[in-house]
Structure 1
Amino acid sequence: MGLTYKNILVAVDGSKEAEWAFKKSIEIAKRNQAKLLLAHIIDTRTFATVETYDRTIAERANQFAEELMNRYIALAHSAGITDVKYEIDYGSPKIKIPKEVAKQFKADLIICGATGLNMVERLFIGSVSENITRHAPCDVLVVRTEKD
């Protein structure tokens, strides 16, 4: 029978790599009859550049996340996946996903996109996918290619 996954956590952020990760997660969830949890962590560091913390930015980020999640949930349902939930939270995605969300959800697989950081950014902060891989309590699939 081999290895099966029961609780699959997908980190999505609106990027095309995350979209590919989501599409692959659908296939894997179907093959394993697994539960799917979509997680979108709104990176609070993106607000740190704004002098006065602007509520409308947070609200826009949240609205974007809600729309993204609802679209993904509809796609999952139309692919025949019934057990799908989502979580929107604030903080640092590279810490929250592997250290908090994965543990709460009892994830046995985390799927994420290879985030497109440039060399300098990677040097100083490391990519989200790198950090998820380093700190995850379970298997991690980093998606770099579009599904056929």
Structure 2
Amino acid sequence: MFNKILVAIDDSTTSRNIFDAALCLAKTTGASLMLLHVLSSDDRDYPSPSLYSGLEYDPFDSILIEAYQERWQKFEQRGLEMLRSLTEEATKAGVNTEFTQAEGNPAHIICDLAQTWSASLIFIGSRGLTGVKEIFLGSVSNYVTHHAPCSVFIWRDNVNPDSQFSQKNNAQLTSSPS
């Protein structure tokens, strides 16, 4: 069955759901967890040097370099704190858990780590991109599905909240009996 579960997470609420599901499966099967957070330029909080584009940019300006390095360290630290907290939670639940954080292309890093760690399952989220959006913005879950060395579980939260089905279900959930 599954003995090593790789869980790709970020700081979203979807990732919390992914972690909870992976933890439940790991407790049930006795599997180990590897939590992975990828520092990616696609992240909304990614500290980019272009952040300082309103200033006259000099690549050798030590003040700008220091400001960028400080933002980068905070960005890295926030990811590590999240990973440590989730690792502690899983460990307290009796699941052997480790974590890693890497910088780069999330899809490639997930597949590479799954290969080197010998993962038997990858838990990953999906933003529900389709069509043109998926082509231009890319899809990490699509890439991982096609290139992973093991099974992949894709968690979808609110895939299409504007669909009639979702609106109907939301109306039923929020309405109270008269």
Q: Could you say whether these structures have the same fold, taking a TM-score greater than 0.5 normalized by the shorter chain as the test? A: yes
Unpaired runs of at least 5, structure 2: 54-58, 60-64, 159-178
State how far apart, in whole Å, the 2-side matches of 1:145 and 1:79 are.
25
1:130 equivalent among 142, 145, 155: 142
Given that residues 20 and 113 in structure 1 are in contact (C-alpha distance below 8 angstroms), is that contact kept between their aligned partners in structure 2? Answer: no
Counting matched residue pairs gives: 141
Structure 2 match to 1:93: 106
Give 1:71 shift: 1.2
Scaled by the length of structure 2, the TM-score of the pair is 0.70
**Residue 31 of structure 1: CA displacement?**
1.4
State the Cα distance separating 1:125 from its structure 2 match. 3.0
Match of 2:73 in 1: 59
Structure number with the bigger relative contact order (C-alpha 8 A, sep ≥ 6) is 1
**Structure 1 position 138, deviation (Å):** 0.6
Question: What is the CA-CA distance between 1:77 and the residue it aligns to?
Answer: 1.8
Measure how far apart 1:127 and its partner are: 1.9
1:34 aligns with 2:11: no
State the secondary structure of the residue aligned to 2:36: strand
Q: Which runs of 5+ in 1 are unaligned?
A: none
After the TM superposition, which residues 1-20 of structure 1 pair with which residues of structure 2 at under 5 Å, given as runs? 4-20=1-17
Q: Determine which structure has more spread, i.e. the larger CA radius of gyration.
A: 2
Shift of the alpha carbon at 1:90? 0.7
SS in 2 for 1:8: strand
Tell me how far 1:44 sits from its aligned partner: 4.0
Partner of 1:72: 86
**Alpha-carbon distance between aligned partners in 1 of 2:50 and 2:133, rounded to the nearest angstrom:** 16
Q: Percent identity?
A: 29
Cα deviation per residue 1:77-102 (whole Å; 9 max; x = unaligned)?
Answer: 22221x1000011111111111x111
Deviation (angstroms), 1:119: 6.6
Given that 2:128 and 2:156 are in contact with CA atoms closer than 8 Å, whether structure 1 keeps it comes out as no
* SS of corresponding position for 1:5: coil
SS of the residue corresponding to residue 2 of structure 2 reads coil
Residue 110 of structure 1: which of 119, 122, 138 is its match?
Answer: 122
Local SS of the residue matching 1:37 = strand
**How large is the Cα RMSD of the aligned pairs?**
2.3
Q: Whole-Å Cα distance in 1 between the matches of residues 5 and 116 of structure 2?
A: 12
Question: How far off is 1:57 after superposition?
Answer: 2.7
In the alignment, does 2:158 pair up with 1:141?
no
SS at match of 2:122: strand
Alpha-carbon distance between aligned partners in 2 of 1:111 and 1:89, rounded to the nearest angstrom? 17
